[in-house]
Amino acid sequence: MKAKEYLGQAYRLDQRINSKLEQIASLNELAMKCTSTLTGMPRKHDCSISKIEVVSKIVDLQEEINRDVEKLVDLKREIVWRIKAVDDTEYQTLLELRYLCFKTWEQIAVDMGYNVRHVFRLHDEAVNSITVPKTCH
């Protein structure tokens, strides 16, 4: 795995967590639509999926999110360690802004007081200074 791919893992994992959070919000809306009325009359199902099934899916997703958050925390801790091993503090700042804070190139340029082209050049140099663990898949 190349350094850029290694560093980008945290962003992709963060995106998956956000996607699962959106799925939970959607399932919560669905659960609110699945209402039942308690009467003595035979009932007609207004919802193709029961509230219990929806809640079960929500619980499963929440468990997945918890596992993913743990992975993200561990991965970020490892990335921080790799970035701190870089000698140049300017490179460290750029790498932290991009791969830990998930800022856009334009935001990084503004934060660092450079134009975007210069940030790209610095980024190439900074990424080349990262040591990627050999055990990464």
Tens digit of pLDDT for each residue in 33-74? 765 544 555 555 555 567 888 889 999 999 999 999 999 999
Angle of CA points 117, 110, 87, to nearest 5°: 70
Sequence letter at residue 50: S
Which has the closest alpha carbon to 86: 134, 127, 135, 133? Answer: 127
Specify the pLDDT at position 17. 97
pTM of the model: 0.78
- Which DSSP state fits 131? P
* CA torsion through residues 6, 17, 74, 80, sign: positive
